[in-house]
Structure 1
Amino acid sequence: MLENSATAILGEVIEPSIDPDVHRRWSELADEIRRHRDLYYNGRPEIPNADFDALFRELQEIENQYPELATSASPTREVGAPAPEESSFANVKHLERMMSLDNVFDAAELDDWLSRTPAEAYLTELKVDGVSIDLVYRDGVLERAATRGDGRIGEDITANARVIDTIPHELKGDAPALIEVRGEIYIRPEDFHEINAERHEAWVKTSEKARDQGRRQPKKPEPFANPRNTAAGGLRQKNTAEVKKRRLRFVAHGIGAREGFDVDSQHEAYRMLAEYGLPVSPYTERVTDTKAVQEKVAYWAEHRHDAEFEMDGVVIKVNSLSEQRGYGATSRAPRWAIAYKYPPEEVSTPLRDIMVGVGRTGRVTPFAWLVPKLVSGSTVSMATLHNQSEVERKGVLIGDTVIIRKAGEIIPEVLGPVVEKRDGTERTYRFPTLCPSCGTRLAPQREGDADWHCPNARFCPAQLVARLTYIAGRGAFDIEALGEKGALDLIRSGVLNDEAGLFDLDTAALEQTRVYTTTKGTVNATGKKLLEHLESARHTELWRVLVALSIRHVGPTAARALAARYGSMRALREASAADLAETDGVGQIIAESLKAWFEVDWHVAIVEAWERAGVSMEDDQSERAEQTLEGLTLVVTGTLENYSRDKAKEAILARGGKASGSVSKKTDYVVVGENAGSKEQKARDLGVTILDEAQFDKLLETGGID
């Protein structure tokens, strides 16, 4: 708190003209930012990046209004975080200081930066959500690897870097006498999920062995929270075998000190690094005008999950190194580069309550009712908590401030509480014993299941509404005008008792509803559209009918395979489980689930009612696409001109092929569009045939590309 005389803050004098409340807030923010920054850089963050950004911007705004607070020791002038005192790694000094980046958060701010920073050309690079690393090569040999630390001093992690497959021990070709390479350590999302799965499997095996030997079972490991924290923790392991288990990867994105490395531009520097065998981002592009910069930023906002690493923005750099030197740098960041950060995918917000929802299979899922918050470009007020075990595991209390995550179209989920914000008013959540929709007692389907279900499958209103909505979805009958609101109205009004009567709906039936009638009680435009779409849906493909029945484990892929092999619902019902299991892509579990479903009387009644109403129960083989891709597995990556991702998948499946999401030795072809990224490179590494869009068209038509 300021007195009447000048007060020394962090070794510099702050004039008494500053409002004491302003200075108090500045001090609070500075301390909070330093603490969270240290936690973040050491892989133990307590708040989402978006919350940290908000604190940092508030501090910047105060310092913009009161420049005398912007001392050299302010967090706004500092880079990274010092190595923790308890660190077991030796401290090393970087040959050239590692800097941070300033951020912008919208198109107007980016335009303002571009107008202040004109250049002959710019580079647009994806901002990797990873851990910064500094590599020093002398005469082409890796001499040292270090964390960023505070930008001047980092931790020596050379031994760990040597076990990361994508960091070469020696550079290829005519390497320079010295080059300091800056980059990011990351974990691919698919590898991250496999790491967690492997940890769980290892625990299961160890537990079983302990049980068989009569020993105490080991504690179940907590799953890793996210790739970035897992990478940060992996880099600081003392056991290199544990480092290797994290499947860490490296991508170069800058250069520091160098001798004998003469280039004129950032783009040329990346080309040379790639020739030396260092991985560089395949997504970096050179553009020559500001409009193109904005276009790239807009493109990656829509495709941020297409990259092989997690990213949260685009970095724009002046390409020319001489122009970079002309712009110089502040105490913490270059003036020739800026990071455009996208709306956050993780934020924190108060948890008002925990409630449960009942799905079409009867699964009862707890979900969080939140104070609405903007996340990943949309306002979120509810997020899933998966099951009651997850609520307990995450330690979430009603009244907590919680961290929520929403990645693209993925349903928002609660990651955990911000424990430091608790004030004692929070309370423990109690999972219900009765279904909130029909009052039936809840229970797990099988002993030991984490998920609990409502067993009243036929008459539970919530399950029926969910099934009707699913039936109308694009993956099934694709019936417009039948959403959740309409389905609920059809049930509440007594027009439908279950899905069996769906295709018997007519004008008279809809006149008993609210959603589908005018104020005068006549069928409205939405009701007429519903009847029109029900009529056209009667003539859909057999596989869509199978999907619409909500048979456990029978999704679009299995349904297609079954429909293609048997051709009719009657043939399917008459087939034995053993025969069904021989269908490609089906197997014993799906086969037994299908047979069990048809053993329930009211299930059979649905099929028979639909058939009486004119729903086609067999495929016209003459209209079936020629099976040109039978036995082939294809992966589509990047942006195609004439196919959306769903349309490309549909084209493959309709011709008997398998549409996979990942490249492996079993992949026959990889179809590559614009900005294909890591899947294209993996295909090249494995020797898988790569097709462009024209070759894909020919393959669909003829089954060959010659």
Structure 2
Amino acid sequence: VLHGDNYPASFEIRGEILMPWEVFEELNREKEAREEPLFANPRNAASGTLKLQNSSIVASRKLDAYLYYLLGDNLPCDGHYENLQEAAKWGFKISDLTRKCQTLEEVFEFINYWDVERKNLPVATDGIVLKVNSLRQQKNLGFTAKSPRWAIAYKFQAERALTRLNKVTYQVGRTGAVTPVANLDPVQLSGTVVKRASLHNADIIEGLDLHIGDMVYVEKGGEIIPKITGVDKDARSFMLGEKVRFIVNCPECGSKLVRYEGEAAHYCPNETACPPQIKGKIEHFISRKAMNIDGLGPETVDMFYRLGLIRNTADLYKLTADDIKGLDRMGEKSAENIVTGIAQSKTVPFERVIFALGIRFVGETVAKKIAKSFENIDDLQQADLEKLVSIDEIGEKIAQSILAYFANESNRELVAKLKEAGLQLYRTEEDLSGYTDKLAGQSIVISGVFVHHSRDEYKELIEKNGGKNVGSISAKTSFILAGDNMGPAKLEKAKKLGITILSEDEFLKLIS
């Protein structure tokens, strides 16, 4: 219930959901005690929490929020700052650290103060946003394609600390990529205790000439992800520690690692039996843009895997409510919701099932092209290199990855099980509805702010009508779909190259 009576009948208020440092550190202590992977930072923890389907887990994470932007007609004040103060009176959580400055000197004083004091804040921050206060001036300044012209972010310089390297461990991701992680003496950095930092790949390790026991410089890139940026070689004693060399075998399953030509990372090739890869593939499979299975998240997948309930994505379709209820934080209703979500995923269209398979280099756009080019999964399995590279967006690298996926007997068996489970591994008339060739062969740039559809919806309309979305303007651009406040640089380049600019209404008429 809002307090007071001076709020408009309709308004929108925007903000950011976050996890305070105290909650983040407590959560990681609990995960460490359970021998589970730790969250890298509060931002990832908050984002991951919001993706969870289990509301009781979300509630237990103690997320917080700060609101920073009030929009609507008939707002009580003419200033951005003043409207936020009114919103605070209505009961919304507004940061009491926001300041209205009258001069540049005041702005610089504010920046310099928080450059030092930010480490004492209860939340993570990597900078300050400076905004024009007058709503009238904000309207006159408008927006670029990506951001308002009346606001700019000032990023703090990365904080650096010196600490000791104790050992290097290795993590395996969904694709099998192996990432080295430096384990350090705990050091305070940007408001949190850092014990680990990424070393990225073998080349970085070699370039730093790392030895166990070295004193290393640690920074947080963008104040979020810790990384080692150098070694204090003057601090080395005559008793130089063991040189760090990248491992030869997978730390999880023992398979010999491989490094593909032109890539910096090493990979574990055992994609069907390496636990982190299996769990990662299942997490990708259930994700929102893939099968979008309600009630499941990374923690649930990890629990099901540890208990032996699932060993691949097809095993999800064998789960029953009786298998699930009674497990940690799983009541009868949660169990039924998960089973219902899994059953509902059988109606997910062919293009998203292809994306859900997790074939390397096959993202959403390529999956759509594949679904439009093949009637069913059997046709895709039997396709040769020539057929695959003839499809728009698919070059030899992606084609070879698809061929390698279906050449693997375990993958073919998995697809057969998914087919048996009733997934939509075929193209339907409904999938093809709305597809035309009206934009065939045309490369289209989207710019500006739109009224009738979102940018993602326009991208989908372009693809459904045979067009290609491109990010930058060139002589090969067919036309620009422009909303309000098109970026001035794009507008100037389009005019210089003589490229047609279509409004929303003109574009919708073109494809109607």
The unaligned stretches of length 5 or more in structure 1 are 1-105, 118-283, 315-340
Structure 1 position 671, deviation (Å): 2.4
Alignment match, 1:386:
200
Paired residue type of 1:403:
E
Alignment match, 2:230:
417
Counterpart selection for 1:633 from 443, 449, 456? 443
Q: 1:351 to 1:638 in 2, by over 3 A?
A: farther
The unaligned stretches of length 5 or more in structure 2 are 1-94, 107-129
Alignment match, 1:112:
101
Structure 1 position 696, deviation (Å): 3.5
Paired residue type of 1:683:
A
- Judge conservation of contact 1:405–1:415 (CA < 8 Å) in 2: no
Q: 1:457 to 1:401 in 2, by over 3 A?
A: same
Structure 1 position 603, deviation (Å): 0.3
Structure 1 position 109, deviation (Å): 6.3
Alignment match, 2:494:
683
- Judge conservation of contact 2:346–2:422 (CA < 8 Å) in 1: yes
In 1, distance between residues paired with 2:194 and 2:446?
31
- Judge conservation of contact 1:444–1:450 (CA < 8 Å) in 2: no
Alignment match, 1:671:
481
Pairing 1:244-323 to 2, within 5 Å after superposition? 290=134, 303=146, 314=152
> Pairwise CA RMSD of aligned residues?
4.1
Structure 1 position 453, deviation (Å): 1.8
Aligned pair 1:400/2:216, yes or no? yes
Structure 1 position 390, deviation (Å): 1.9
Q: 1:506 to 1:689 in 2, by over 3 A?
A: farther
Alignment match, 1:342:
154
Pairing 1:84-483 to 2, within 5 Å after superposition? 110-113=99-102, 290=134, 303=146, 314=152, 342-344=154-156, 346-349=158-161, 354-367=168-181, 373-374=189-190, 384-394=198-208, 399-406=215-222, 412=225, 414=227, 416-417=229-230, 419=232, 423-424=235-236, 429-438=244-253, 440-446=254-260, 450-483=264-297
In 1, distance between residues paired with 2:285 and 2:359?
12
Counterpart selection for 1:549 from 357, 364, 374? 357
Paired residue type of 2:371:
A
Moved more, 343-352 or 627-636: 343-352
Give a deviation string over 1:527-550, Cα, whole Å, max 9, x none.
443323222221112121111112
Aligned pair 1:654/2:470, yes or no? no
In 1, distance between residues paired with 2:491 and 2:313?
45
Alignment match, 1:604:
412
Q: 1:664 to 1:545 in 2, by over 3 A?
A: same
Q: Secondary structure at the match of 1:598?
A: helix
Q: 1:530 to 1:668 in 2, by over 3 A?
A: farther
Give a deviation string over 1:39-77, Cα, whole Å, max 9, x none.
xxxxxxxxxxxxxxxxxxxxxxxxxxxxxxxxxxxxxxx
In 1, distance between residues paired with 2:456 and 2:228?
30
Structure 1 position 460, deviation (Å): 1.0
Counterpart selection for 2:300 from 486, 495, 504? 486
Alignment match, 1:239:
none
Q: 1:442 to 1:406 in 2, by over 3 A?
A: farther
- Judge conservation of contact 2:290–2:352 (CA < 8 Å) in 1: yes
Structure 1 position 595, deviation (Å): 2.3
Counterpart selection for 1:588 from 393, 396, 401? 396
Structure 1 position 559, deviation (Å): 1.7
Q: 1:607 to 1:675 in 2, by over 3 A?
A: same
Aligned pair 1:692/2:503, yes or no? yes
In 1, distance between residues paired with 2:285 and 2:194?
26
In 2, distance between residues paired with 1:390 and 1:115?
41
Pairing 1:613-628 to 2, within 5 Å after superposition? 613-624=421-432, 625-627=434-436, 628=438
- Judge conservation of contact 1:359–1:466 (CA < 8 Å) in 2: yes
Structure 1 position 113, deviation (Å): 2.9
Aligned pair 1:495/2:304, yes or no? no
In 2, distance between residues paired with 1:534 and 1:641?
35
Q: 1:298 to 1:664 in 2, by over 3 A?
A: closer
- Judge conservation of contact 1:578–1:588 (CA < 8 Å) in 2: no
In 2, distance between residues paired with 1:383 and 1:638?
39
Structure 1 position 492, deviation (Å): 0.5
In 1, distance between residues paired with 2:249 and 2:410?
24
In 1, distance between residues paired with 2:414 and 2:457?
30
- Judge conservation of contact 1:382–1:412 (CA < 8 Å) in 2: no
What TM-score do you get using the length of structure 2 for normalisation? Answer: 0.64
Structure 1 position 441, deviation (Å): 3.8
What TM-score do you get using the length of structure 1 for normalisation? Answer: 0.47
In 2, distance between residues paired with 1:675 and 1:528?
48
In 2, distance between residues paired with 1:634 and 1:478?
29
In 1, distance between residues paired with 2:323 and 2:266?
35
Q: Secondary structure at the match of 1:416?
A: strand
In 2, distance between residues paired with 1:372 and 1:644?
42
Paired residue type of 2:305:
I
Q: Secondary structure at the match of 1:477?
A: coil
Paired residue type of 2:509:
K
Q: Secondary structure at the match of 1:443?
A: coil
Counterpart selection for 1:537 from 345, 368, 388? 345
Structure 1 position 664, deviation (Å): 1.5
Structure 1 position 387, deviation (Å): 0.9
Structure 1 position 357, deviation (Å): 1.7
In 2, distance between residues paired with 1:669 and 1:612?
45
Structure 1 position 558, deviation (Å): 2.0
Paired residue type of 1:113:
Q
- Judge conservation of contact 1:442–1:452 (CA < 8 Å) in 2: no
Q: Secondary structure at the match of 1:538?
A: helix
In 1, distance between residues paired with 2:188 and 2:454?
32
Q: Secondary structure at the match of 1:444?
A: coil
Percent of aligned pairs with the same residue?
27
In 1, distance between residues paired with 2:142 and 2:160?
25
Q: 1:555 to 1:447 in 2, by over 3 A?
A: closer
Give a deviation string over 1:173-192, Cα, whole Å, max 9, x none.
xxxxxxxxxxxxxxxxxxxx
Aligned pair 1:576/2:361, yes or no? no
In 2, distance between residues paired with 1:424 and 1:617?
60
Q: Secondary structure at the match of 2:101?
A: helix
